[in-house]
Amino acid sequence: MQYRTLGRTGIKVSPYALGTLMFATSIGNPDPEDSIRVIHKALDAGINFVDTADAYGDVEDVVGQALKGRRDNVVLATKFSRPIGDDPNHQGTSRRWIMTAVENSLRRLQTDHIDLYQIHRPDPSTDIEETLSALNDLIHSGKVRAIGTSAMPVSDMVEAQWAASRRGFERFHTEQPPYSILSRGIEREVLPTAQRHGMGTLVWGPLGQGMLTGRVRRGEENTLRRAGMLKHLNDARRIDVVEQLIPLADAAGMPLTHLAMAFTISHPAVTSAIIGPRTMAHLDDLLAGLEVVLPDEVLDRIDEIVPPGTNVSTLDQDFVPPALQNASLRRRPLAERAGQNSIAG
């Protein structure tokens, strides 16, 4: 295992990070003991980076149990800001919620510190200086070692760096965006910006939310489709790309999953790619491809199929900023528009 430095933190992490969403008993593996065995197998294989979140149901509890006696050898990352229950203040990035959320995560994870504490999704309603001030205090108290973001727009990434410098706060050292052969949009600005500011990048969705496992084929029924889990499983554009990638992987002598994972970690700006196994079999398949290195001719062919910096449709879990969700932020008030028309007439 060749470890990589996480941004400029000096922390060494494995090129695969163990994502834990599929260990939630409500949506993933219903057996916590089996999930713990999967976590131990990943650690035994040399993966030392574990990523979780307070919004993943009971996952932090499972991770806390799994890391008993092994905590010192693990770089533990968790996230906050997504809604926890119905209380409107149990979400976001206010100082009020951050101070509560971190204590809850520390208790569930059975640890006295978090190595990487990340904003799960941006919170436009909170001043970034308010957020950085609270996170700065957590670092200085020893409860958090480093801070990061997830799915943060480039303009917000830069603003946060400037705010930290201006106020003398600890700055964000990592960003966690979606990235796969099917979702290459971050190559345009997010990854270059992260490199420019010395940020590590922990990417999620390297298997395209299941599309790059090869289980979803044109004209074939499968358990994922029957379950109706995610709308992208019926996206004709994504399926067309998968149909081109499968023979490429076959010609290279590897499963599609190995091709997909090797692609993500080949980018110089990517520190680690998050894998999300639900079972031991899933983990074993991914571990078998850990040392795969794609030659230039294979990467060139991938560039032909999906040009650099482009997305093949959008992910189901993409962050959509308020300016796109709320029509009122894109339209002048009707009375104002009507007044303009009468003047023009």
Treating both helix axes as pointing N-terminal to C-terminal, what angle do 95-109 and 128-141 enclose, rounded to 10 degrees?
40
C-beta separation of 208 from 234 below 8 A: no
Cβ-contact 343, 215 below 8 angstroms:
no
Angle between helices 280-287 and 32-44 in degrees, nearest 10: 20
User: Which residue has 């089996």 as its token pair?
Assistant: 34
H helix runs in 46-196, sequence order: 59-66, 95-109, 128-141, 154-167, 190-196
CA quadruple 156, 158, 159, 161: dihedral sign: positive
* DSSP letter assigned to residue 118: E
Alpha-carbon distance values, 345 to 332, 338, 340, 342 (Å): 18, 11, 9, 5
Query: Among the options 3, 16, 56, 179, which is catalytic?
Result: 56
Catalytic (active site) residue 3: no
Which of the residues are catalytic? 56
